[in-house]
Amino acid sequence: MKFFPLVWRNLLRRKVRTTFTLLSVFVAFVLYGILMAIKMAFGAGVTIAGAERLMMIDKISLINPIPLSYQQRISSTEGIVDISHANWFGGIYQDPKNFFANMAVDPESWLRIYPEFTVPEDQKKAWLADRTGAVVGADLARRFGWKVGDRVPLQGVIYRTPTGAPWEFTIDGIYDSLEKGVDKSQFFFHYDYMNETIRTQNYGHDQVGWYVIKLKDPSQAETIAQKLDAMFANSPNETKTATEKAFIAGFAKQIGDIGSIMVAIAGAVLFTILLVSANTMAQAIRERTNELAILKTLGFSDGRILGLVLAESCLIAIVGGALGLAVAYPVVSYVAIQTNGMVPPLYLPVRDVVIGGVIIVVLGFATGLWPALQASRLRIVDALRKG
């Protein structure tokens, strides 16, 4: 700090160049924050998914239903402590653009299987007692301005009412979660309501989309999954069972490894800024060769010269990078609000902020190290001759 005024004055020698370098670092770290938030959003389901939960789907495709009669045989298997099921409903609210996940589930077992979904006790009781009731995520309720007691019509696409009229649901509860990354934009309602309504139809009655199975011992997941699939081998509805984590990871990779793409882009941006900043520092040192010689004449040691140059590069990196991360956080929060829950939970994890801080320090040292070494090794006579 003793030589801070000297460092600051050196940076202000070329105000325009320093300003644009700072802006480059600033923009790079704003992009870094946004990209890491997107990476976290697309990986949130995998992170939250439990290894103690298995998912069973049809062996051929997720869109093929599985008989409801499988539930009894599955639940009687050793090592299984709970089971639930769900059907993707695919209903439309007002306009097809108002997309959100809506599913028919067994309410009691669903809330047991997913304790991360927290519903107030009075709302939970109301939902369990209401055949046409629904529970919605806090983000989804905020998106459409729904509140407990509202009636919500969904136009069936996969499952239709006998008359073709919209399905009517009463919002009995709004779920939230204390865990980061939990999807709070879903809509759950009674499977029995849907199953009884489509009784006369040829598709969907007494069938489920997938089973969610809770294990007593997660280490037995692979063994139990193989045992369950063998149980239904050579039947009209063969199954494929895997941990929920593996299932969601595989499903996400169908649209590409978003996490790796985001990391690659962030890496390319930061590497480019490394080159730009290093070039800036090298040019600044070349312009001040004779001044560095004078400082050495006045008694500045090689180590002190090295420290002064590194301080300049680190100051640029710290100011630009810290401002970039500081701006990225509210930008991500604003974007998350504007999406109205249409994308997975969007936020900048503390872990990535810390990693960003480390990258800032590394960037500062990496951009200034070579110019600083050159400056510290200057011989006074050679430096004055060049100047």
Model pLDDT, residue 150? 96
- Distance from CA of residue 207 to its chain's centroid? 32
358 compared with 7, residue with greater pLDDT: 358
pLDDT tens per residue, range 335-352: 766 555 445 567 777 888
pLDDT tens per residue, range 310-340: 777 888 888 889 999 999 888 887 776 655 5
The CA distance from 127 to 196, in Å, is 17
Q: Report the predicted TM-score, pTM, of the whole model to 2 decimal places.
A: 0.65
Question: In the structure, what pLDDT confidence band is assigned to residue 294 with cuts at 50, 70 and 90?
Answer: low
Average of per-residue pLDDT values in the chain? 83
pLDDT tens per residue, range 114-130: 998 999 999 999 999 99
For 157-267, list the strands marked E by DSSP.
167-175, 187-190, 207-208, 210-215, 239-243
Answer yes or no: is pLDDT of 60 > 60.
yes
pLDDT tens per residue, range 199-226: 888 788 999 999 999 999 988 988 999 9
What are 303's two structure tokens? 């180590």
The CA distance from 162 to 213, in Å, is 32
Of the candidate ranges 64-68, 108-112, 202-206, 289-293, the one whose mean pLDDT is the lowest: 289-293
Question: In the structure, what pLDDT confidence band is assigned to residue 48 with cuts at 50, 70 and 90?
Answer: very low
Helices (H) and strands (E) in the chain, counts: 14, 11
Q: State how beta strands 207-208 and 66-67 pair.
A: antiparallel
**What are the extents of the domains in the chain?**
4-45+256-386, 60-237
Task: Concatenate the DSSP letters of all residues of 307-373 into one string.
Answer: HHHHHHHHHHHHHHHHHHHHHHHHHHHHHHHHTTTSSS-----HHHHHHHHHHHHHHHHHHHHHHHH
Q: State how beta strands 167-175 and 239-243 pair.
A: unpaired
Say which amino acid occupies 45. G
State the burial class of residue 330 (Cβ atoms within 10 Å of its Cβ: 0-12, 13-18, 19+): exposed
pLDDT tens per residue, range 69-88: 999 999 999 999 999 999 99
